[in-house]
Chain A
Amino acid sequence: MTARLPRPARLRPADLLRLGLLGPRTRRLRSALSALGIALGIAAVVAVTGISASNQAHLLDRLDRLGSNLITVSPGEDYEGKKVPLPKESVTMLGNIAPVERVSATGDTKANVYRNEFVPSNQTNSLRVLSARLDLLTAVRGEVRTGRWLDHATERLPVVVLGSSSAERLGVTAPGTKVWIAGEGLTGEWYGVLGILEPNELVPEIDDSVLVGGPTAIARLDGDRTPSTVYLRVHPDRVSDVQDVAAATANPAQPGMVAVSRPSDLLKARAETDDTLTGLVLSLAGVALLVGGVGIANTMVVGVMERRGEVGLRRALGARRGQIAAQFLIEAVLLGLFGGLAGAALGAATVYAYATGQGWPAAVPLVWAVAGPAVAVVVGTVAGLYPALRAAGMSPTGALRSA
């Protein structure tokens, strides 16, 4: 009798998948631990890039809100490093440039601010006391966190508005508190805190300042009549035009002694150069992935040794070498995939928690959320190659005998 030779059959994809899941299903803890290495690597990548992206999104978001059309004009330095004050008229002159929509200014005073009169005079906390025009807040789009901003009545009174960092450094949390303002040649006086401002990334110098009304500064604090910084809100399309003429307009006599800058450039640069840490962490994550891959390979090698009997049985049931290899390779790939997905989820959760804690918008770069698991699959494949070939290379009789 010669029956027809049975035709070799392929494993269906669903069967292969089920075969690949058999190991992880029956050895849960070990499989989970071996996938953990990869998960941590991917989580680190997603978390770091995500936090960096969230920070960037936050800065750009702030920039959007604060506007990139702010120009500051301040006294430059002469060749000896001495400040060349801007002329008193510069504020008006700058305000007359056609595309300038708003103008405001601060002025220096000789005073320093202290929590109380007993603090030694040299402990100034690096805080400056500045006079502010009433329209300053509008020009820089500052916001009052608590209390009130100066008005026509209060700008003549001994009251101050604190920038966010100055409030922090002075330990003031609520309006109504008093701070001590004194300086050389000045009689110290208590000033009431009228309000506290929100931080403003565009004009960090205001965060570090204590603001008093112009009349108060001149009358009581020996304030300058010339501006220390002029803030210009400019038509968005004409910013560079205004930048070009600002110096000559502010100080026609010495246009070279004027510092003109666009603070948004700085903020943008900060947003873009925040990648310094990323490279380092990415290489660490690479090491973690490598270790994770070795972990998977190790688990798989041990698994293959333990499952020699199964390999022999499957060969007896008609499995070809390639089908044995495929089973173990898919198991390794699945371990990589699970690790990658868990890592991406863990990383995204970290980003979300961190960003929420910082008050940033959470941003997980899609590239990394997808590339992470993909890289993990590649790592799993490479890690599974050797154990899979080893399983496939076993002789069925040897595998059955030794099991």
Chain B
Amino acid sequence: MTRDRSQGTPVLRLEKVVKEYEGTPPLRILHGIDLTVTEGELVAVVGPSGSGKSTLLALIGTLDRPTSGRIHLEGHDLAAMSERQVAALRARRIGFVFQQFFLLPGLTTVENVATGLLYTGESARRRRERAVRALHDVGLAHRLGHRPDQLSGGEKQRVAVARALVGRPGLLLADEPTGSLDTASGKGVVDLLRRLNEEGTTVVVITHDRDLAASFPRQVVIQDGWIAFDEHSGGPAPAAGSPAPGSPV
């Protein structure tokens, strides 16, 4: 399923988002980010370490709240929501993939993936069924009963992707998904993310790998807490309202 990205509805909209950490003087990590991601997009947020991209991911993923500015996720203003509601939103609408996988060592592959649905209120049986299906989708049908230490790095990350996807989130956030992988398995995971995007999932990948970012339809370059560059390479025109100030590096 493919969509016309220019006319998609915004999944994510950031307006003048500032993040500061307390201190004297306060440490300002993000200086006012404007960013819109529409449904079905595949976006790479790229920048050197210390540029603020991880902080940005935490804000987008509702793991942290901005100091000022607004974030809308699927039309909901996060500032107006309680912790409870935000947690529920995380449980159902956002999927996370981390560099370190964060698979639970005591659980099998299926159990790890089913954990992705634990906080949605689904029954254990349903969670398991959906986890098995998600593992089929990422090509790990033969690893259902394995434990994390019996899997290769690439397999671990694919389990993590399955866990992020099992709840059919509106937004998949991946923080350096290939950072701990060798080139071949990294490529496998990226291909997987690309395929999932083609099937309709909105994907935002954070990376410091410029080559990887360059292969994505849209790149957002972050530098020193500003959006330095936002372009759609090889894709349609920028989504409405999304272009950020700043110039190409």
Contacts and interface: CB of A to CB of B under 8 A. Distances in A.
Given A26-B106, A318-B87, A397 B63 contact: yes
Interface in A285-336: 309-310, 312-321, 323
Nearest to B85: A5
Contacts of B10: 1
Nearest to B173: A316
Contacts of A313: 96, 98, 102, 104
B181 to A, nearest CB: 18
A9 B105 CA distance: 25
A11 B124 CA distance: 11
B40 interface: no
B144 interface: no
B170 A320 contact: no
A197 B89 CA distance: 84
Query: Which 6 residue pairs are nearest across A and B when measured between Cβ atoms?
Result: A318-B91, A9-B121, A2-B75, A26-B106, A318-B119, A1-B9
Contact of B106 (A25, A319, A320): A25
Contact of B124 (A15, A317, A323): A15
A152 interface: no
Given A15-B124, A318-B92, A320-B87, A26 B105 contact: yes
Interface string A367-394: 0000000000000000000000000000
Contacts of A397: 55, 58, 63-64
A1 B74 contact: yes
Contact of B100 (A7, A22, A403): A403
B88 interface: yes
A319 B88 CA distance: 8
Contacts of B163: 317
Given A26-B106, A320-B84, A396-B63, A15 B118 contact: yes
Interface string A1-27: 111011111111011000000100110
Contact of B102 (A12, A22, A312): A312
A8 B88 contact: yes
B66 to A, nearest CB: 13
A107 B107 CA distance: 81
B83 interface: yes
Given A309-B100, A400-B102, 16 more contacts: A2-B74, A3-B93, A6-B91, A7-B88, A10-B121, A11-B119, A12-B121, A22-B107, A309-B102, A316-B63, A316-B94, A317-B116, A320-B83, A395-B64, A396-B58, A397-B58
Contacts of B177: none
Contacts of B54: 401
Interface in B112-146: 115-116, 118-121, 123-124
Contacts of A9: 88, 91, 119-121
B90 A316 contact: yes
B232 interface: no
A6 B92 contact: yes
Contacts of B41: none
Contacts of B34: none
Contact of A22 (B76, B85, B104, B121): B104
A1 B75 contact: yes
A213 B75 CA distance: 109
Contacts of B102: 309-310, 312-313, 400, 403
B88 A22 contact: no
B61 interface: yes
B89 A6 contact: yes
Nearest to B39: A1
Given A15-B124, A395-B64, A5 B119 contact: no
Contacts of A316: 61, 63, 90, 94, 96
A360 to B, nearest CB: 45
A295 to B, nearest CB: 22
A319 B81 CA distance: 16
A400 B121 contact: no
Contacts of B100: 309, 403
Given A316-B61, A318-B91, A403-B102, A3 B118 contact: no
Contacts of B115: 314, 317
Contacts of B76: 2-3, 5
A237 to B, nearest CB: 66
Nearest to A401: B54
Contacts of B107: 22
Contacts of B75: 1-3
B93 A6 contact: yes
A323 B88 contact: no
Contact of A317 (B9, B55, B90): B90
12 contacts: A6-B88, A6-B93, A8-B88, A11-B118, A12-B121, A15-B124, A309-B102, A314-B118, A316-B61, A318-B119, A319-B87, A320-B83
Contacts of A314: 115, 118-119
A392 to B, nearest CB: 12
B208 to A, nearest CB: 16
B77 to A, nearest CB: 10
A217 to B, nearest CB: 81
A228 B64 CA distance: 94
A396 B93 contact: no
Contacts of B63: 315-316, 395-397, 400
A310 B104 contact: yes
Interface in B213-228: none
Contacts of B55: 397
Contacts of A319: 87, 91, 118-119
B160 to A, nearest CB: 9
B74 to A, nearest CB: 5
Nearest to A21: B106
